[in-house]
Structure 1
């Protein structure tokens, strides 16, 4: 645990505020004006500090919550705490970091995946699908992959943006890591056309599942 107080941490975050950066971030739905590289430098200096992370999160402010997610200990959160936190991640970057830096790192990840899977809140359902995508790629034993494809085929086209993205990721991971289901995954992606027109920078791989699967398989096969 560090010696940094809440007021000191908030002061450092205030020093990072840049109006031009805020304007750029607000276009993406985020309400902060920080360079995230500089924010990571602050977190690196503090290191891990769970009590401070909880104080930062309790402020409700996006800059403080982003710092909290970088310095917290995911294993120290209870299932109910994780659930409550997720339901407050309305800002895109806070949501992204919570899912990737906390939900995927906690020993309760599978418990939370199951708990969140059929939740009516799109943000919560999206987290469940993100955890499912991670399991498909790294620890698929026990997952009913055929059932996941059935759900994706039935639900992804009309799903809200966040769960649609995570369902698409799950589809791509099934097609990439499970050759016996690759043909079906490709067929679903081609039929639904989800993210087919997603703007992709030169040199980057499109998130459109058939393109994503093809590129990942190509890389794996060398």
Structure 2
């Protein structure tokens, strides 16, 4: 892949910067101001180009890294490469996209999940919890759900924000998808009160686990009521 193409793409991305969007994104820790629909349009034009993705990631430019995650081939990364990328991805959006668009589709996902859950860095640990939530929903066989609830009950209240959010998501997913643990999941949420007062826009579901669980279960049990 030519350095020229990478330079041209960086220039194109820079031309799409919107100061107002950057101001909003920076409040969430993301240092870019590019509209994500426009970014996805560039990715659609480029199609899958794994070598280009590797070079875009190496630029250390957040929006270029987001583009890299859209045009890469997830299964080609080694576990070591993904571990290094996660530790470099300090911007929340790059972190989330890396986990959701790439790691979840990689054959090393569960190996990384276990390693990250045991990591001392709470941002890295949050990725392990995100992958655990995926397994809770799609492939719970072999998971110790009661043990996960024990850990959440003991550690979520005082966890740093990003880790707390990931643990809370796992708590809610256990309650939603595993009826035998629902009452306990709701009770943990009610006792810890994590995200109880989180500002939730109209027509959106609160991330407070008891409300989240109740709302999704209600929708699942009344499918005919959904439009």
| Same fold (TM > 0.5) | yes
**CA positional deviation for 1:102:** 1.1
**CA positional deviation for 1:215:** 0.7
Q: Which residue does the alignment assign to 2:50?
A: 50
Q: Which residue does the alignment assign to 2:94?
A: 94
List 4+ stretches of structure 1 deviating above 4 A: none
Q: Which residue does the alignment assign to 1:37?
A: 37
Find the residue that maps to 2:204 and give its secondary structure: coil
Q: Distance in 2 between matches of 1:177 and 1:30?
A: 32
Q: Distance in 1 between matches of 2:191 and 2:72?
A: 42
Unaligned residue ranges in structure 2 (runs of 5+): 223-227
TM-score (norm 2): 0.94
> How many residue pairs align between the two structures?
221
Q: Which residue does the alignment assign to 1:75?
A: 75
Q: Distance in 1 between matches of 2:74 and 2:151?
A: 29
Q: How does 1:1-222 map to 2 (within 5 A)?
A: 5-222=5-222
**CA positional deviation for 1:16:** 1.0
Q: Distance in 2 between matches of 1:45 and 1:169?
A: 34
**CA positional deviation for 1:22:** 1.5
1:180-206 deviation digits (Å, cap 9, x = unpaired): 110110100000000001110000000
1:31-57 deviation digits (Å, cap 9, x = unpaired): 111011100000000011110000000
Unaligned residue ranges in structure 1 (runs of 5+): none
Q: Distance in 1 between matches of 2:214 and 2:19?
A: 41
C-alpha RMSD of matched pairs (Å): 1.4
Stretch of structure 1 that moved more, 5-14 or 70-79: 5-14
Q: Distance in 1 between matches of 2:170 and 2:186?
A: 12
